[in-house]
């Protein structure tokens, strides 16, 4: 009898284990949070469904890092959505060989996504970075951004405070190829450029203006970062696209809309226009900006999204030395400091799409400020949008709502009295009463 019973018990336990394995393999998740914070966005889902070849994600996180379980859970959601995506979380200190092979900084950690021999890297394990990394793996073409030089523009290899070396490194990390083009020597935008970076020219563009104008008219795309310190008039270049530069400097009065003690360093927290350039963007800091205007009547096929504005308590001062509003010369806020232009046209039977991102400040992208708040993300998203890689910039994680708790000292004492005093006290009292009743019998 015993062996038969033993066999039956073993079979029952094996059946339970088998059922659990089946459940693990066919796991379904029900996200009951109000903001669906435990679900991937529809944009991510669309990208993940395009993965048809195995992708391995390696996250380098130390065991003591606070967000490690959440980041592992995020990667698990990708795996559950598409089993071709596998992941592992490893300690960079415990796997120096892997950190070297995947070119990850062992101090800061990060993440590598591998598909065959291709590797994409990202600094953080967030939905934005994972999805952007996947999208970069999926695309075949590596976009080239051409940085204009020759007219005093900020240089992509300059490591000084107002240089662009950090932005350039960031863009390379995000899968862009960067190339400097001297428009003074050769006033033409080469064919291989998927986008043009025109950052704070300080000398008149001369023949280069015509070259850039022709490039844009032919469906070119550009990120144009102007700055109050430059007196170069870019309005003739921008006017055909319904935008312009309103010279001056924006002074901000709203206390939460500028850096403390510096009313010209704007902090933009909310974005308008619904453009992918600003979607999911954290606050950005513009240290000294002029205005970006948009035409009242736009030509057919042109859409302008004025996505970053100062507050209604700000004004555009025409004279920077005067830090008070002059009703005769100055312009009351809100002042637009960044806009995105999308123009679709059909030329000789061929569709052309021109895209421009224009800002009234260039310092936000310079070495001195790109590390502030969401500035680096704005640089990446603007570059991705102008080069028509929308899937990379529309990802916006479902973030939880902040739910403040009004817990004053008096309320805390009341809660503790109720939960530490009254509830256990009542339970013990019930026990004593039961004991007394039993004793009475």
Partner 1 sequence: VTRATAGKDLRVLWTSPIPYVVAALFHAVVAVLYVSQLEDRRQALMQPFFPIAGFMLVVLVPVLAMRTLAEEARAGTLDLLLAVPVATRPLVAGKWLATWATSLAVLAPAALFAPILRWFGHPDSGPIVTGFAGLVLLTAALTGIGVLASSLTASQPVAAMVALFVSLALWFAHRGTASAGVAGVLARFSTSDRLRSFAGGAVHTADVGFFVAVAAGALVLAAAAVDSRRLR
Residue number, 31 or 186, with CB nearest to partner 1: 31
Least distance from C-beta 430 to partner 1, angstroms?
6
Stretch that binds partner 1, among 135-143, 199-207, 382-390, 415-423 (CB under 8 A): 415-423
User: What gap in Å lies between CA 82 and CA 132, rounded to an integer?
Assistant: 16
Residue range at the interface with partner 1 (CB under 8 A); choices 12-20, 192-200, 249-257, 361-369: 12-20
Q: Which of 159, 149, 143 is nearest to 198 (CA)?
A: 149
Residue 312 binds to partner 1 (criterion: CB under 8 A): no
CB of 247 to partner 1, least distance (A): 45
Q: Does 329 bind partner 1 (CB under 8 A)?
A: no
The reply to whether 94 sits near partner 1 by the rule CB under 8 A is: yes
Q: Which of 67, 207, 301, 424 binds partner 1 (CB under 8 A)?
A: 424
Instruction: Report the candidate in 401, 400, 386, 377 with the shortest Cα–Cα distance to residue 132.
Output: 377
Strands 336-347 and 350-359: antiparallel
CA–CA separation, 179 and 174 (whole Å): 15
CA atoms within 13 A on the CB side of 280: 20
CB of 53 vs partner 1, minimal distance in Å: 23
Alpha-carbon distances of 243 from 123, 277, 359, 360, 387, rounded to whole Å? 35, 17, 10, 11, 19
The CA distance from 285 to 265, in Å, is 7
| Count, residues near partner 1 per rule CB under 8 A | 58
Binding of partner 1 by 5 (CB under 8 A):
yes
Spatial separation of the C-alpha atoms in residues 176 and 331, rounded to whole Å: 38
The runs of H, that is alpha helices, within 82-201 are 96-101, 127-138, 165-173
Q: Report in angstroms how near the CB of residue 9 gets to partner 1 at its nearest.
A: 4
Contact call for residue 400 and partner 1 (CB under 8 A): yes
The number of beta carbons lying within 10 Å of the beta carbon of residue 358 is 29
Applying CB under 8 A, does 101 fall inside the site for partner 1?
Answer: no
What x-and-dash track marks residues 44-83 binding partner 1 by CB under 8 A? Answer: -------------------x-----x---x----------
Between 13 and 142, CB nearer to partner 1: 13
Cα atoms found within 13 Å of the Cα of residue 400, Cβ hemisphere only: 8
Q: How far is the CB of 420 from partner 1 (least distance, A)?
A: 5
Contact 28, 39 (CB under 8 A): no
Is there binding between residue 410 and partner 1 (CB under 8 A)? no
Which of 7, 214, 303, 416 touches partner 1 by CB under 8 A? Answer: 416
Region from 127-135, 269-277, 311-319, 396-404 binding partner 1, contact rule CB under 8 A: 396-404
Confirm if 63 and 91 have CB atoms less than 8 A apart. Answer: yes
Rounded CA-CA distance 12/266 in Å is 68
93/262 with CB nearer partner 1: 93
Q: Which residues bind partner 1 (CB under 8 A)?
A: 1-2, 5-6, 9, 12-13, 16-17, 19-20, 23-24, 26-35, 37-38, 63, 69, 73, 88-91, 94, 400-407, 411-412, 415-416, 418-420, 423-425, 427-428, 430-431, 434-435, 438
């Amino acid at each position: 009898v015993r062996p038969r019973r033993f066999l039956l018990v073993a079979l029952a336990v094996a059946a339970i284990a088998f059922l659990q394995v089946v459940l693990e393999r066919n796991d379904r998740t029900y996200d009951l949070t109000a903001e669906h914070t435990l679900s991937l966005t529809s944009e991510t889902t669309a990208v993940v469904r395009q993965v048809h070849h195995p992708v391995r994600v390696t996250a380098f996180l130390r065991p003591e890092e606070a967000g490690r379980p959440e980041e592992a859970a995020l990667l698990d959601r990708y795996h559950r959505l598409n089993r071709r995506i596998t992941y592992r979380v490893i300690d960079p200190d415990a796997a120096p060989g892997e950190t070297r092979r995947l070119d990850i900084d062992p101090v800061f950690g990060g993440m590598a996504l591998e598909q065959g021999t291709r590797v994409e890297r990202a600094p953080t394990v967030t939905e934005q970075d994972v999805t952007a990394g996947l999208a970069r793996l999926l695309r075949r073409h590596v976009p080239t951004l051409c940085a204009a030089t020759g007219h005093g523009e900020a240089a992509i290899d300059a490591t000084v405070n107002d240089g662009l070396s950090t932005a350039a490194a960031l863009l390379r990390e995000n899968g862009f190829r960067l190339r400097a083009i001297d428009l003074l020597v050769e006033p033409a935008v080469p064919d291989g450029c998927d986008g043009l970076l025109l950052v704070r020219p300080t000398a008149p563009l001369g023949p280069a203006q015509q070259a850039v104008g022709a490039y844009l008219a032919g469906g070119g795309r550009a990120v144009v970062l102007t700055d109050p310190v430059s007196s170069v008039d870019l309005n003739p270049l921008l006017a055909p696209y319904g935008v312009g530069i309103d010279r001056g400097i924006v002074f901000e009065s709203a206390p939460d809309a500028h850096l403390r003690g510096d009313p010209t360093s704007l902090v933009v927290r909310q974005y308008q226009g619904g453009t992918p350039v600003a979607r999911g963007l954290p606050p950005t800091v513009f240290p000294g900006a002029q205005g970006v205007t948009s035409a009242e009547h736009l030509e057919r096929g042109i859409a302008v999204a004025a996505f970053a504005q100062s507050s209604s308590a700000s004004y555009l001062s025409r004279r920077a030395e005067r830090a008070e509003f002059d009703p005769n010369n100055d312009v009351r806020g809100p002042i637009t400091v960044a806009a995105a232009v999308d123009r679709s046209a059909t030329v000789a039977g061929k569709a052309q799409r021109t895209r421009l991102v224009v800002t009234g400040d260039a310092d936000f992208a310079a070495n001195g400020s790109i590390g502030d708040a969401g500035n680096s993300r704005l640089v990446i998203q603007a570059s991705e949008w102008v080069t028509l890689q929308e899937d990379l910039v529309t990802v916006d994680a479902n973030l939880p709502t902040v739910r403040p708790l009004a817990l004053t000292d008096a309320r805390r004492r009341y809660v503790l009295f109720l939960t530490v005093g009254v509830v256990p006290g009542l339970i013990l009292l019930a026990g004593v009463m039961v004991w007394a009743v039993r004793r009475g019998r």
